[in-house]
Amino acid sequence: MSRFAKAATQKTASQETCPHRSAARSCLAGGISAALLCAGAATASAQDAASVKAAAPDLSSGDTGWVSVGGEWIAKAGSPPPVGFDPAHPYVPNNIGKQPTFRIADLANPNLTQFAKDGLKKSNDEVMAGKAMYSREARCWATGVPVYLLNPAQPTFFLQTPEKVVMIWQMDQQVRHVYLNVPHSENPEPSWYGESVGHYEGDTLVVDTIAQNTQTFVDNYRTPHSDKLHVVERYHLVEGGKAMQADITIEDPAVFLEPLQVIHRWRRVQGQMIESRCAEGNFNYFNQEVEPLPTAAVPDF
């Protein structure tokens, strides 16, 4: 293990021409799956690589962070459609040279229950009435699972031990705990991020989440969910380790007639996590009608 930690410092080694040294650097930067690909570049003294089987994905070492790509769920082939925008009110995101809009959901989505449509209509009405419906994480609220995966702009860091995986979104230090190789509790108390248990299947981290409170949504359109929400995420590296993909099943019979099967991707960045807190300097500069930040009217203790 200390050799692994020491190898990490070789990332910043000098630029000597040395095939093994640069291979070690790029192997480490590419993570464990890339290291397996690098097996061919090793010297004759290396371990016999014939017995290679896919090892658990390394999502954490070398100051690796993951930046979310896009804010909409992308349906896999065969999945019912996730909630999208009302064609009469197209969603225009930020930074594309046009006046951006807040999302207005398409209530004609064929996969929604009445409960889902009622919840979405409520949000749509608020947008139509002129409320500035910034996303929940922009207002510093915990977004629950799976919307945690859509946390934008700032990277998410992973910690991995044999017992657990922890995810930390840099902006606001939003933390999720995943307990490995244990079953769900009998009757977990509902909480903002629920109870997540997980395990590795070859090169994939599988996470199963239940018991979330009903104060969160399942997408950026604010589709509500019930206490029956069940989310499975399957994380694996793609693009030679430069990106990470999660295949996600979103199941809630109170909301969706059939479970959604969607994917989401992140690109890898490297750099130490910067302490960043959503509530700091979060002022309503333009006097818009915004949702309040989570605030303690009375000190907790």
Partner 1 sequence: MRDHRACARAGATLAALLAVSISGVAISGLAYGADAPDISGIYWATQYNAKIQLVGGGELPLTPAGQAAYDKNIAGLKDGSLTDNARKFCVPDGLPRVLANPYPFEIIQAPPGQTTIIYELSHQVRMIAMDKPLPSEEDLLVLPFFNGHSVGHFEGDTLVVESAGFKENTFVDATGAPHTDELRTVERIRKVSPTELEDVITMHDPEYYSRDWQARFVYNQRTDIRIEDYVCGEPHRDLSGVAGVRRP
CB of 255 to partner 1, least distance (A): 22
Residue whose CB is less far from partner 1, 114 or 295: 295
What is the amino acid identity at position 255? V
Min separation Cβ 86 and partner 1, Å: 30
Q: Are strands 195-201 and 64-75 parallel, antiparallel or unpaired?
A: unpaired
C-alpha span between 77 and 261 (Å, rounded): 8
Instruction: Name the residue among 133, 81, 129, 78 with its Cα closest to residue 103.
Output: 133
Minimal distance, residue 247 CB to partner 1, in Å:
21
* Cβ proximity of 148 and 193 under 8 Å: yes
User: How far is it, in rounded angstroms, from Cα 260 to Cα 252?
Assistant: 9
Residue 179 CB, shortest distance to partner 1, in Å, is: 8
Instruction: Identify which of residues 202 and 253 has a Cβ nearer to partner 1 in the complex.
Output: 202
**Which stretches of the chain are DSSP H helices?**
2-9, 19-29, 31-37, 114-128
Q: Least CB distance from residue 126 to partner 1, whole Å?
A: 21
Q: Toward partner 1, which CB reaches closer, 140 or 150?
A: 140
User: What is the distance between the alpha carbons of residues 263 and 234, in angstroms, rounded to a whole number?
Assistant: 9
Give min distance, CB of 81 to partner 1, in A: 31
Cβ neighbours for 16, distance < 8 A, ≥ 6 positions apart: none
Task: Name the residue nearer to partner 1 (CB basis): 33 or 261.
Answer: 33
Q: List C-alpha distances in Å: 68 to 152, 157, 166, 193, 293.
A: 6, 11, 17, 18, 23
Q: Quick one: 47 or 94, whose CB is closer to partner 1?
A: 47
- Residue 33 or 223 having the CB closest to partner 1: 33
Chain position carrying tokens 């902006």:
171
Pick between residue 139 and residue 265 the one whose CB is nearest to partner 1: 139
Residue 136's nearest CA partner among 125, 126, 144 is: 144
* Least distance between partner 1 and beta carbon 195 (Å): 9
